[in-house]
Structure 1
Amino acid sequence: MPFVIRQFHNDQTLGEKLHTLRKEARLTLSELSEMTKIQKSYLKAFETNAFHKLPDPIYARNYLKTLARTLGGEEAYYIDQFEQERGTCDVVNKHQTPRQRTRKASLFVTSRFAQICLFVLLIGTFISYIGFQVKTIISPPHLSISSPSDGFLTTDATVLVKGKTDKGASIKINGQNVLLAQDGTFEKEIALERGVNVLQIEGAKRYSHLIKEYRRVIFDNGKTIGLTPKNFSPTF
């Protein structure tokens, strides 16, 4: 078929232009399909602008070139309009309809956004986990003293200190190491001096901060302290 340049209205779609060319050539869809070896459903999709029913773009462009040659149209002209209406053209002429965003591009942007959000979420979760682990490591162990109570008064020269802490912790009472039971309980007898004794109980885990508890124990054996030297006779 000889090459012919036809004038179309600027507001006509690609499908309308192809339909006009086919009607001018006095061809039915079936006849055109037989001539071009293009499926009738694809020809109908071109004429109705149902581009989503076409095969992959690389095949659709080849079909359109064959269709344009058969109907006497300029291949580049129809390919350009196809790209614009389908939404895959990078440059749009100011006198032509602006390109449409394809669903594929929209899905790609959405997918990228979702990936970025997921990455940020994973980083945030990882940082939170590391922070939690560091806090767990440096946090002092739990320490409770069951006896003696603060301000405890005794007439004995020793006092039994009892308490409980976390497994794996270490305990010191006035600098003395204390042996822990498997469940974290401990007890140790501490010698007292007359008067007020301050007991400092320290607990710690490896790399953790210290935790300290204090107990004041008063040792009074009931004996008075003589203030007058022996054989001292006051002179009046």
Structure 2
Amino acid sequence: MVAALFKRKKLTPPKRVCLCLKEARAKANISLEEISRKTKIDKKHLQALEECRFRDLPEAAVYQRNFVKKYIEALGLDPAPFLSQYDSEEKVNKKKKHPHCAIKENFLSQLPMFGKYFVMILVVAILAIYLIFQVRNIIEPPLLEVYSPQDGYVTSESVLPVRGKTDKGVEIYINGKMIGVNEQGNFEEKIDLNLGVNTFIISAKKKHGKVTEITRYVVYKDTDN
């Protein structure tokens, strides 16, 4: 009989403050839209508050506490007991929360921001490299290599091939006359020689006006005379 008198009763834990808020709003028959209008709090934050999704609210406890206060005041109720319950729950949550887990969670939550910064830095770096390349391409004179003839070359042939290489898109002139250049920048032109010293001024010209010049002197000797 004594055992029956002292029969243990299963204690029901108190409802969380977020659930109490939702019940209070239901009793007051007020919509979330109305609460949002009165409190100036976004509806999605109010919904997260009612569903105990505190992770979807601003992290600082002072903001969450203020949300609870404004919510209850919009219902015309005394916020004190609700805030007291919130403070109690917050203390329990802080004790449960491991510091290493907090650091890890905060780091993971910041990953999207790191990604944005990384993409921005990458785009800026690519643009900077592109601009440097373009400026360098404008201010630097074009490449010009003359493979043949060598300066001071002596020949008994009346026709001399002039061969060389330049940058892609560069125009080549020999003594002011433009000659053909292939897609790889290679050029070759056969020139008729005059007896004695022949002067060849080979010019490579960019669209923006930068010019590279090489001069070659070739001596043509007629062996028949």
What TM-score do the two structures reach when normalised by structure 2? Answer: 0.49
- Higher helix proportion (structure 1 or 2): 2
What TM-score do the two structures reach when normalised by structure 1? Answer: 0.47
